[in-house]
Amino acid sequence: MTETYTRAHARDMDAHDDLRMYRDEFYLNHESVYMDGNSLGLMSKQAERSTLNILESWKTQGINGWTEGNQPWYYLSESLGEKMAGLVGANHEEVIATGSTTVDLHHLVSTFYQPEGKRTKILADALTFPSDIYALKAQLRLKGYDESHLVQVESEDGHLLNEADIIDAMTDDIALIVLPSVLYRSGQILDMKRLTQAAHERNIPIGFDLCHSIGAIPHDLHDWNVDFAFWCTYKHLNGGPGSVAGLFLNEKHFGVTPGLAGWFSSAKNKQFDMEHTLTPATNAGAFQIGTPHLLSAAPLIGALDLFNDAGIDRVRRKSLELTDYMMSLIDHELDGYGMVICNPRNHDQRGGHVYVEHPEAARICKALKMKNVIPDFRTPSGIRLAPVALYNSFEDVYDCVHTLKMIMDDALYEQFENVRDVVS
């Protein structure tokens, strides 16, 4: 065995890791290896502190917490938007923390989907996360159209999308385009700049779901001229289960009437005038609806501070090193075991996780959990493994792959049914 595939080599890479100090900022179970950060990130100590601080301000200040203290609640959504702006390549007024992923998608589509004449269709893809498709179909029904007005670009291999096929589908009957930045199964990164340029050449607005890219890869949404984007914050951003989502609205659209207006859509200086005519905020804040969910936003304060301290470029560099190492170990240790790596290997096209397919994937994932490795199963036969730059080590990757090999060698997976759990 060459040095590359030894535990000593993994430990040597950890010793030279310039992000290794952040591992101590997270609550890790040292009896297990957590490889599911692309589904739910771990809690950091800073996120815990910021949550306790919000609770303390509620306890000690009551309603005065809206405008007083070190983090006034009234401006928290904007403050969090500013913290996220650098992660998506936006001006701080273009980003707001609000809602949930699907609610934000509904809001943005209700605003940007304006069918007229022959332009009545929405363009999406066949590999995107189901929730996005549910929302798009619902928005079509609300505008009086059936599902035939949803165009989904197919994949040739079931894993990757051909961007040329997406561009070819931008026909003159398309009124709106909504695509993922990173495919949730295969981890493929779509070229958002190229697709945005192609859409705008055809006068079609375009938006992206960043759920599997924010906190894992850099973005330049403003410079790419993307119209809008939306994302969750509980995966790579480690904001906690159900943490408040975020959205981007290109400044060229400031002043557009929000499709789902509400109490917090107001300009801050007008909100408490109690008028029945809305004066929307003149930035992304107009895309808030109701009162911010303070206790679901609180962990983000600390979680985002860690990202802004570490820097997304360093996070991306280590993420690529971790996934490169994981794939090299899988190639070396599991050759002949039926494991097929289905994510792109090219750095420009690969997100923050490794996607492996095997016919026994569901039961293999159960066996991994039994052996204290936490993966993510995706039906029908996918194993997602996400070594996260801020808290996973190269030795974690080594242990994950060698545990997987032991499970296959000893056929430990055979004691489980090859069906998913309720939550997989």
Concatenating the DSSP letter of every residue in 297-315 gives HHHHHHHHHHHHHH-HHHH
Q: Do 215 and 114 share a structural domain? A: yes
Average pLDDT (144-152) is: 97
Residue 422 has pLDDT above 90, yes or no: no
- Given a contact cutoff of 8 angstroms between Cβ atoms, the answer to whether 199 and 172 are in contact is no
Going by C-beta distance under 8 Å and a sequence separation of 6 or more, which residues neighbour residue 273? none
Of 20, 29, 72, 25, nearest to 306 by C-alpha is 25
Residue 1 has pLDDT above 70, yes or no: no
* Residue 277 to residue 177: CA distance in whole angstroms: 31
Domain boundary among the residues 309, 337, 357 is at 309
Q: Do 165 and 214 share a structural domain? A: yes
pLDDT value of position 424 = 63
Average pLDDT (392-412) is: 98
Going by C-beta distance under 8 Å and a sequence separation of 6 or more, which residues neighbour residue 16? none
Q: Which two tokens stand for residue 258?
A: 């929000």
Average pLDDT (279-294) is: 96
Asked if residue 81 belongs to a domain, the reply is: yes
Average pLDDT (344-364) is: 98
DSSP 188-230: BBP-HHHHHHHHHHTT--EEEE-TTTTTTS---HHHHT--EEE
Mean pLDDT, rounded, of the chain: 97
Looking at residue 273, the DSSP 8-state letter turns out to be: G
Rg (CA), the chain: 22
- Give 181-208 pLDDT, tens digit per residue: 999 999 999 999 999 999 999 999 999 9
Containing structural domain, residue 271:
49-309
Asked if residue 40 belongs to a domain, the reply is: no
Give the bridge partners for 231, in sequence order: 246
Asked if residue 365 belongs to a domain, the reply is: yes
Q: Do 129 and 12 share a structural domain? A: no
Q: Determine the 3-state secondary structure of 246 from DSSP.
A: strand
pLDDT value of position 421 = 83
Asked if residue 420 belongs to a domain, the reply is: no
Cα 242–chain centre separation: 13
Domain boundary among the residues 287, 309, 331 is at 309
Average pLDDT (301-329) is: 98
- Give 237-281 pLDDT, tens digit per residue: 999 999 999 999 999 999 999 999 999 999 999 999 999 999 999
CATH code where residue 78 lies: 3.40.640.10
Q: Do 145 and 93 share a structural domain? A: yes
Asked if residue 38 belongs to a domain, the reply is: no
Q: Do 75 and 213 share a structural domain? A: yes
Asked if residue 217 belongs to a domain, the reply is: yes
Average pLDDT (87-103) is: 98
Q: Do 81 and 179 share a structural domain? A: yes
Q: Do 229 and 217 share a structural domain? A: yes
Q: Do 266 and 129 share a structural domain? A: yes
* Residue 189 to residue 199: CA distance in whole angstroms: 17
Q: Which two tokens stand for residue 27?
A: 């609550």
Average pLDDT (138-154) is: 98
pLDDT value of position 420 = 83
Of 104, 102, 81, 76, nearest to 91 by C-alpha is 81
Is residue 69 very low, low, confident or very high in pLDDT (cuts 50, 70, 90)?
confident
Asked if residue 36 belongs to a domain, the reply is: no
Binding residues for pyridoxal 5'-phosphate: 101-102, 129-132, 209, 212, 234, 263, 291
Residue 48 has pLDDT above 80, yes or no: yes
- Looking at the chain, the whole-number percentage of residues with pLDDT higher than 90 is 96
pLDDT value of position 365 = 98
Weakest mean pLDDT among 55-69, 214-228, 391-405, 409-423:
409-423
- Give 109-118 pLDDT, tens digit per residue: 999 999 999 9
* Residue 358 to residue 254: CA distance in whole angstroms: 47
Residue length of the chain: 424
Asked if residue 171 belongs to a domain, the reply is: yes
Q: Do 389 and 287 share a structural domain? A: no
Q: Do 92 and 179 share a structural domain? A: yes
pLDDT value of position 2 = 64
pLDDT value of position 319 = 98
Q: Do 22 and 68 share a structural domain? A: no
Prior bond to 380 cis, omega within 30? yes
Q: Do 239 and 110 share a structural domain? A: yes
Domain boundary among the residues 309, 339, 361 is at 309
Binding residues: 101-102, 129-132, 209, 212, 234, 263, 291
pTM (2 d.p.): 0.97
Prior bond to 180 cis, omega within 30? no
- Looking at the chain, the whole-number percentage of residues with pLDDT higher than 70 is 99
